[in-house]
Chain A
Amino acid sequence: MVAAANARLRLETVRLTALFGQNPAVREISLLFPAHTVTAIIGPSGCGKSTLLRCLNRMHELTPDASVTGQVLLDDVDIYAKDVNPVELRRRVGMVFQRPTPFPTMSIYDNVAAGLRVNGRRSRHETDDAVERALHQAALWDEVKDRLATSALALSGGQQQRLCIARAVAPAPEILLLDEPTASLDPAGTQRIEELCHALKRHYTIVIVTHNLQQAARVSDYTAFLYLGQLVEVGRTSELFTKPQVEQTEAYITGRFG
């Protein structure tokens, strides 16, 4: 049911520019993220990938002095329009950060349910269902189903990150933003999360920022290459990695710089 509702969902940036004070970190990027796909954003450090991601759920503007010009259209509605409430927007877009950030004073159950509780009242039964569904989607259910009431801090790093994924998907957002989600994990944890991406795109449109080119190649359907805040090239992952059309892209992919 969720999948059907999102079938026609388009997420698109139109000449998006993001500034810190006077410095543009993202310059005039127009990029389309098709529904139910995984789009990877790659590029060397400082190229603006994370900033671009944070513009998609209006987190960028929380930094003092930060501003945005251009548009981000979620199903043809500009999320930067004046009467759009960013808080409401963020409930429709989930985000997972580089380091796992479980809420330390809450149990596993409460962590996953955290996003649900701001979204209106639900019965205990509904919350239970949503939590279980989210934990299944994050491939964490089997490991924690017997200890939902215990502290989230007792989990390993990889488990905590999957918990954060569960927390992000529990409110059934339409978009899932992953900002280098495996950067602080070991290879086993990384692999599990990469496997998740394939499964999750059935339900959500995923944008993943990564500095790991192999990860981008493994995980994504489309890849966008950013350099110095500008979109250099975008295309199907298989094509971009084998037959990049821009010289810079090829240089980055083959490791000549970055």
Chain B
Amino acid sequence: MSAGTFRRHLTSRVMTGLVVVLAFTAVLALVLILGDLMAKGASSIDWAFFTKSPVPAGESGGGVANAIVGTFIVVGLAALIGVPVGVGAGMYLAEYGSGRLGFLVRFVADVLNGTPSIVVGIVAWTFLVKPTGRFSALAGSVGLAILMIPMLARTTEEMVRLVPHSLREAALALGYPRWRTSLKVVARTALGGIVTGCLVGIARVAGETAPLLFTAQGNLNFSMDVRHPMQTLSLQIYVYATGPFDEWHRMAWAAALVLMGLVLILALAARWVTRQRYGSGR
């Protein structure tokens, strides 16, 4: 082997090694963060943590029950608004979106996907908090829905596009009108993927804090009234982490672990749905 060839192979090995090191550094960061979450949060989680609301500042004990319930309500309401619009927009893009309007909608969706969530919070505030003079979970849900819609539109479109054209043709040849083909054959076939996209979108939005800062705002008490401020896990973590008490810091880790657990469950559910789909039939 000549010196030149040797050097080339050495370079290749070095670069390969570098790439591997870089890749694993990234993974290492994740492992560290999750590890810290477990280590610092797990010890604070007990039954009381899940069932009690916060106690007055400085005291110990109490839990994040209000935040857990609040997260479910705010995110659930957001999904109620965001899923039909997002999935509908995605269906439009897949079925009729080959023209100019489709191009525009697609482009806007992609651009909206990168919009800072704090800006969305401002918009929700302007329409739902400022006129009523009152913070509310509903305002927070609307903000989260605005975040969800472009996400779901694109994932839905992508999943529906995967359905082979031959299936559409087979349905049309049977005498299915276009709308029925789209719903009962195409969407039904892509349903697994669409649901996955929704779960991923919901998981993303469940962790959001910024749009809720001045919409749902947060609530130290247990509340299920959507017309009033409501606490979510993300808001709770923010308040506790930036507060002065060690007790709060401890609980912030625990709440973060719970939130991460929720997000993880949704993410795994999303994967499980797709696995089910592909596994069925054999």
Contacts and interface: CB of A to CB of B under 8 A. Distances in A.
Decide if A and B touch, CB cutoff 8 A. Answer: yes
Interface of A: 57, 59, 62, 87-92, 94-95, 97, 99, 101, 103-105, 114-115, 118-119, 151-154, 164, 167-168, 171
B175 A119 contact: yes
Contact of B174 (A151, A152, A171): A171
B5 interface: no
B177 A99 contact: no
B222 interface: no
Contacts of A115: 174-175
Contacts of B174: 90-91, 94, 114-115, 118, 167-168, 171
A101 B189 CA distance: 12
A105 B166 contact: no
B7 interface: no
A99 B165 CA distance: 12
B237 to A, nearest CB: 40
B282 A154 contact: yes
Interface residues of B, number: 20
A120 B176 CA distance: 12
B167 A154 contact: no
B282 A101 contact: no
B8 interface: no
A192 B249 CA distance: 73
A198 to B, nearest CB: 23
Given A97-B169, A99-B166, A103-B170, A153 B282 contact: yes
Contacts of B275: none
Given A105-B188, A105-B189, A171 B172 contact: no
20 contacts: A57-B173, A62-B172, A87-B176, A88-B175, A89-B175, A90-B173, A91-B175, A94-B174, A97-B166, A97-B169, A97-B170, A101-B167, A103-B185, A104-B281, A114-B171, A114-B174, A119-B175, A152-B281, A164-B170, A167-B174
Nearest to A114: B174
Contacts of B227: none
Interface string B235-253: 0000000000000000000
Given A105-B189, A154-B282, A87 B169 contact: no
A154 B281 contact: yes
B213 interface: no
